Structure formats: C-alpha cells, structure tokens
Structure 1
C-alpha cells in the first residue's frame, strides 16, 4: 500500500510484509519511478522479506532498511535494473543474483551498499552484469561492518572503479569476477581495511590514456 502522501514517489510501499513480486514491467525512460520501500519504523516485528524475480524495474530504491536491526531481507533474482538512483539499502541481508544493472546518467554507482551510517549489512552479489553506462563505480561499499561475497560478476567498462570499498572494517570475498575495463579511470578493485579473500579475478586491457587497471 502507498505511504500516506507518498503515492507518487513510492508506488510500491511494503510494511511488515512478506512479499514476492514476479514478472513486473514498470516505467519507461530515465524519469520513471518504481520504488520498493522497506519499513522505516524501529518495531522489531517490522520484518521485510522480499523477492523481485524476472522483472524490468527503473529507479529502484531500497534506501531505508529497518533502522537498528538486521530484519530487512531483499532478494533480486534475474532482474534488469536501470535508471536512478542506485540500488541502495541499509541493514539486513541482501541477495542480488543474475541481474543486469545499468545507469544512463552521470555520477551514479551501480550498487551502493549500505547507506552512510547504516552498518551491519550482509551482502551477496552473484552472477551480475554491470553495463558500460554506469558512470561511477560498479559496486561501492560504504558501511564499516559489512559482510559480503561478490562472485562471478562481469563489469562491462564501468567508468571509474569496478568494486570500491571506501571504509574499513569489512570481511568477505571477491571471487572470479571479470572486469572489462575499456574506459576505467581507476582500479578494478580497491580495498581499504577489509579482511578476506580476493582470488580468481581478471581485468581487461584499458585502452584510454591515463587510465589504469589492476
């Protein structure tokens, strides 16, 4: 149900629900809106278990989470995600699997997890493709206590950094990803204070002057 006064901004509003959305086509063009909004209250019973399967969604935002808890569970399975803003979320366990992720604008990441100040996020990103149209980082991890696995993904010429971990205190694995860094300005992977395993990744040749890969 839409949030009061929020109908246009949040066409899909989920509160204290288990939800499974299949085969949805929504929006057209850059400014279309399809938001899936987790609950924002602090009630421990406000769980969100969501699946979004085989859908084409624009402007997907998971920007709230459940403050102070790990009870938001989001799964994207076989989803085409385009438009603005990034796929963003906070607390909880999130699975993004077999998805195509694109952004046709300036200064946006493919996946930004979690939001600033929202830690304790468990994240799985598996077998996803990040399109060349992403203008900043393919995946940017902000939180200080994120546990993650990023595996078997393809980064198709993301503009800046493929996987960018810009805060400390993470633990996880980055395995068997391929970086097609035809126009990459930075590294394929950057790590700041994370613990875990990086293995089996490959980076393509950078054809642009002044760019780098690694």
Structure 2
C-alpha cells in the first residue's frame, strides 16, 4: 500500500540542509548501519517535495560490483532461500515451507559463498545485510515508521553515519495513514537559531 507524503520546508533554512528519511530495522544486528532511504536536497523555504512511502517490501541479492538479482516481493512472515543457479551464481527463490512469524527471512542454502541481501521499499534501498554465509539467514522486520533528520554529505542508498542516526530522533508514525504533510520548522543562524523540528500535518487516515 502506498502512502502519499509531501515534505514542506517551513524552516528558517533556505534549502541548504539535507533532509534524510530512513527506517530502523525492528531486529537489527549489532554492527548494522541504517541506510539513507531518501535524501531531500535544495528544498527552499515554503517549497514542497512530494514522494510516496510503501508498506510493501522487495528483496534482492547484491554483490560488491553493484549488481542485483531480480526483486521478489516479501511481506512480513515470508521466507526466501538462496540456492545455486545452474550458472553457478546465487539465485533467490521463495521457500516452500510457508511463513515464519512476523519476520522476513532469507536463508543461504548454498554449499559455499556468502551473499549480500537487500530490502527495497518503494523502489529504493531501505536495509541491507552483508556477507550472509551458508547456513546463516538475513532477518528483516519493519514497522510503518519513518525516521527523519538533517545532515550533510548524505548519499542515498548508503549507510548513515552514526552521528546522523543518533541526531535523527523524530519518528513519523505512518500506520493507518493514506496521506500527510511532513512539515519542517526551526533552523536559522546565530543566537536566534532553533533546532529543526518535524511534524505530520493534514493527515488523511484510511
């Protein structure tokens, strides 16, 4: 399901800051870093940046050369397996043994070779598990919550610096929402500068 969102800059910043949106995996690994799902740049005061968030997740394998396998839709509770294709390359497929709790599981069933497993939301990379070895599994579970904050030199689809993640402490709860505006206020320079704040407005519920 798609949720129509509009970012609106009502801050004292004139589009110089980069606004990043990302999700926190409900079952993160110790060394896992959040991925910059969407970065909004050069959005001036009173300007609007429309985009869509989807509750649907797609999973694909990836390698260190920037190649990806075809994506497979995977709702919470899905189990996927990684097997060896006739070509010798890893192949992602649906498991035949049903669902698994509320997680998305991707099990590496190859005899050898680690794989990178990627989760996409609305066509953009949201999370990744690197070097999943044979016999191991990548586990994803997302709640309908986007986190938002301000940073600099952020690259979409790349891991966020821990300082950005720790400072981006505003959750946007999207459960049961059809559309909403994300309004940014604050900012500025000198003694009158205020922290950036984000709030959902004009919320239309399902």
Using structure 2 for the length normalisation, give the TM-score. 0.23
Higher strand share: 2
Higher helix share: 2
The higher-RCO structure (CA 8 Å, 6+ apart) is 2
Using structure 1 for the length normalisation, give the TM-score. 0.23
Task: Indicate the structure (1 or 2) with the bigger Cα radius of gyration.
Answer: 2
